[in-house]
Amino acid sequence: MRQLSIIESELARAIQFGQWAENPACITKLRTIAIDHGIDIVESMNGGYEDDEK
């Protein structure tokens, strides 16, 4: 689903920005949200998923 893809990529981007912050612990909540929704942040940060429905 395209909406989920956008959410995944934006969440991954926010976590990446947080990692560069002076206080990287700020991303703990974002990682928890990702886990709760079954989002693989590592995969999303490495280029995301291919859309198999093309």
Q: Return left, alpha or beta for 50; rule: phi > 0 is left, psi -120 to 50 is alpha, else beta.
A: beta
The pLDDT, as a whole number, for residue 44 is 75
Q: 13 is in which domain, residue-wise? A: 2-45
Q: Count the neighbouring beta carbons within 10 Å of the beta carbon of residue 37.
A: 11
The pLDDT, as a whole number, for residue 48 is 52
- Low-confidence spans in the chain with pLDDT less than 50: 49, 51-52, 54
The pLDDT, as a whole number, for residue 54 is 45
How far, in Å, CA of 20 to CA of 52, rounded? 32
Q: Tell me if 37 is assigned to some domain.
A: yes
Q: Tell me if 24 is assigned to some domain.
A: yes
Q: Tell me if 52 is assigned to some domain.
A: no
Cite the DSSP H helix spans in the chain: 2-19, 28-36, 41-45
Q: Count the neighbouring beta carbons within 10 Å of the beta carbon of residue 33.
A: 15
In the chain, how many domains are there?
1
